[in-house]
Chain A
């Protein structure tokens, strides 16, 4: 019958061993004979999810601290200096504990079920997207052939969560925030996808691991942005602007514009549910930076990775470690760029956001796709 077909994903253990993830390989190596074969993929999935959640939580906490320090220094002050000792490094942990202690309030007029479900959907979707993200040649969770597609789909799920939170709050500020979010994301998903398509034309693959591996020539500097500079540099700028709008970052933070809408869709939330939305914002920034690093700026390839691969071999632990560190440093650079923009530019108006998305970014990204296709056909 239907579910006995051979091409089922979880069913076929040999296929899973070929394309499966690192945790599955590890578990297959250490598991005793008595463990049934079907348990291993399930356990590997559980371990992968745990690793992803742990990694993103730590990165998000680091980013919150970094944002406060960077904004402080941009405004000629220090930012948090007390908690933890060295430059207030434990400020986010202290904040997290405080948020956990706060009362979990649901407004009496709110749609209780949807109100409580929305943060979970937002956070779950963004965590799901990270499953497709490889950190180094051999360190990945799911080697999905259509990785970018999966990531874009998952990050579009977060929109539904935000809209849900805005409607369920039963407050006009929240509703306006949710409306803006829906309109903005629908508008900016187009230039985001199309500017990414420029990179896909150059790469020739949807798979993030393959795309990273393709950029290892020229001593680790064969990044896609250098291979087709005429169209890839504008495409990377378009991608950056669209990613800012997609992750609700200033100057596109219209859904939570605090000077107009109190706090937008966050108005009625408090405590840990509020912090889930915040965590999602930083996780989405990290995700977009990772995607930009992989498809525009070389992924885990750099001269250091090149040297490590030359010295120790592509399969070695050190080469993988250097690759993962390279990718994380590149994405951190992207995150710092987003923060720099946020604390430099004022917020744009909602009609300006729409005009920019539909009238400028979309046609420009289409021109880039056309140009890149012609370039690839000629060269």
Chain B
């Protein structure tokens, strides 16, 4: 019987080496940083699918989120990258963990066969889409150097959010939507005083 866990992690290590080598070969040390971020994103995502324990899956998302932030920073979008870490890792992942953490390690395991089948289907789908995209892009004609460098300064982002002729309306609408969702969640989850009094005594749960 082959130890699937060992095979998976060896594959992950090979993937990491391949990504780093490809990055170093195509763009020097910056490519090495790209390879590192790509390893984090892909490795984290694969581990999230592969791991049998829900909590370990959730922890592996940390690598994915951090790697995404690394991509943003490598592309010069510092603000988005740091917001990614602050919101996704510091907020969303902490809440996610809060939800799944109370599952005990042995009961939280998922059936490997189903996960394996899902992985296979997903891998095929991703490969198909990537092949389609790769075939449709005219690699030689990409005008990377001719594009005007997009402004990623925090000041410009802030001005874009409050200038009346730019994004102020969508921004405020999103804020209102979020507030409504928050109030609604509180309304649904709240316990009325009658809930407390009506509850029979469970006799020391």
Contact = CB atoms under 8 A, between A and B. Distances in A.
- B partners with A: yes
Interface of A: 1-11, 38, 41-42, 109, 111, 114, 144-146, 149-150, 152-154, 156-157, 159-160, 163-164, 166-167, 170, 175, 178-179, 182-183, 185-186, 189, 206
Contact of B29 (A42, A157, A182): A42
B30 A3 contact: yes
Contacts of B95: 182, 186
Nearest to B22: A3
B153 A167 contact: no
Nearest to A181: B94
Contact of B23 (A3, A5, A144): A3
B27 interface: yes
B83 A149 contact: yes
A185 B86 CA distance: 12
Interface of B: 23, 26-31, 33-34, 53, 55-56, 59, 62, 66, 69, 73-76, 78-79, 82-83, 85-86, 89-91, 93-95, 97-98, 101-102, 105, 139, 142, 144-145, 149, 153-154
A150 B73 CA distance: 11
A207 to B, nearest CB: 9
Given A3-B31, A8-B74, A183 B59 contact: no
Nearest to B28: A38
A206 B98 CA distance: 31
B145 A6 contact: yes
The 5 tightest CB contacts between A and B, nearest first, are A156-B90, A153-B85, A7-B76, A11-B30, A153-B86
A179 B101 contact: yes
Contact of A189 (B29, B91, B101, B105): B91
Nearest to A144: B78
Nearest to B147: A5
A6 B102 CA distance: 47
B157 to A, nearest CB: 10
A8 B152 CA distance: 12
Given A111-B56, A150-B82, A160-B59, A145 B30 contact: no
Given A3-B23, A8-B74, A146-B78, A163 B101 contact: yes
A150 B153 CA distance: 14
Contacts of B30: 3, 8-11
Given A1-B139, A3-B30, A9-B73, A185 B78 contact: no
B185 to A, nearest CB: 14
Contacts of A9: 30, 73-74, 76
B94 A182 contact: yes
A298 B101 CA distance: 42
Contacts of A179: 98, 101-102
A182 B102 CA distance: 13
Candidate in B26, B33, B94 with the most chain A CB atoms within 10 angstroms: B94
Contacts of B27: 3-4, 8, 11
Contact of B105 (A7, A10, A111, A156): A111
A11 B98 CA distance: 40
Given A10-B29, A154-B85, A179-B98, A5 B90 contact: no
Candidate in A109, A160, A163 with the most chain B CB atoms within 10 angstroms: A160
A167 B98 CA distance: 10
B186 to A, nearest CB: 11
Contacts of B94: 156, 159-160, 163, 182, 185-186
Contact of A3 (B26, B85, B102, B139): B26
22 contacts: A1-B139, A3-B30, A3-B34, A3-B74, A4-B144, A11-B27, A11-B30, A41-B29, A42-B29, A146-B78, A153-B86, A154-B85, A156-B85, A157-B89, A160-B62, A163-B94, A163-B97, A167-B97, A179-B102, A182-B97, A189-B90, A189-B91
A183 B98 contact: yes
Contacts of A8: 27, 30, 74-76
